[in-house]
Amino acid sequence: MLNTETPATQHASLDQYPTAELVNVLVDDQFKAVEAVRAAAPAIGAAVAAALPRMQAGGRLVYVGAGTSGRLGVLDSVELYPTFSWPHERAVALLAGGSGAMFVAVEGAEDDVAQGAADIAGARVEANDVVLLVAASGATPYVLGALRAARAAGALTVGFANNPGAPVAQEADIGIVLDTGAEAISGSTRLKAGTSQKIALNTFSSALMVRLNKVYGNLMVDLKATNAKLVRRAVRLTVFATGAEEADARAVLEQCGFHVKVAIVALSRNIPVEQARALLETAHGSVRQALGA
């Protein structure tokens, strides 16, 4: 029996726990998700290093999963644009059962090997793409079908699973095993297995974006200011990075479409926005390099 499906013997009377104890047990069990990701950190680092040149060459991140795992992939993919200005078309999410399965479970969709392969073909996966395949069991047929098709297309495949020896991790170019063990509620991998997947995907994509010069120091300088909150954040980040007065920072941001990177270089070097933008382009988007730091 898979670790994720094995009943946790220490919680055989979970339904009889007082509410306070029940809540504490469910919370405490989540700490094992962090431990599992920490143990997998070297593999996550290897995946970032392998993905970087493909992204620099114009490749895409393609997330594949079913159920909770698939929905977590969708979540990571859609957050890359507002956080790092990563183009929508370069973060593709393939979910067993289609986009509707994000909200309503599509029974049996995860068992379709052929559909996984067909969805990879439909997404026109190529050699520069990085395909992230997520499955708690590590043996979801839809995900395995996608994995094999992605490998045949020459893409880099990264498999995330919550069971040692899982096919998704073994067959991928890089396997990331998040060994979270038995769930407090037997088989409910939306609990700590899902939490570990969220942490691992978040860590992978965030580290990759740092390597792609989307961050200056620890500041999120390539965000898309698509609402009032993010406009205020862009102003705060620019003020923090440059020491400029808020009014001056806002004025420069308005000139460059609230692109924080450009505003930081323009204010720091006291140059026009267009010159700052050109410097950043020459520096491959690195604020530090554009500033000569």
Active site residues: 79, 110
Per-residue burial over 140-149, b = 16 or more CB atoms within 10 Å of its CB, e = otherwise? bbbbbbbbbb
- Distance from C-alpha of 217 to C-alpha of 292, rounded to nearest angstrom: 14
DSSP-based three-state secondary structure for 39: helix
Residues 6+ apart with CB under 8 A from 33: 178, 180, 192, 193, 195, 196, 199
- Distance from C-alpha of 254 to C-alpha of 248, rounded to nearest angstrom: 10
- Distance from C-alpha of 197 to C-alpha of 178, rounded to nearest angstrom: 8
- Distance from C-alpha of 210 to C-alpha of 86, rounded to nearest angstrom: 12
The closest of 92, 157, 169, 156 to 124, measured between CA atoms, is: 92
Ramachandran assignment for 81, one of left (phi > 0), alpha (psi -120 to 50 degrees), beta (any other) = alpha
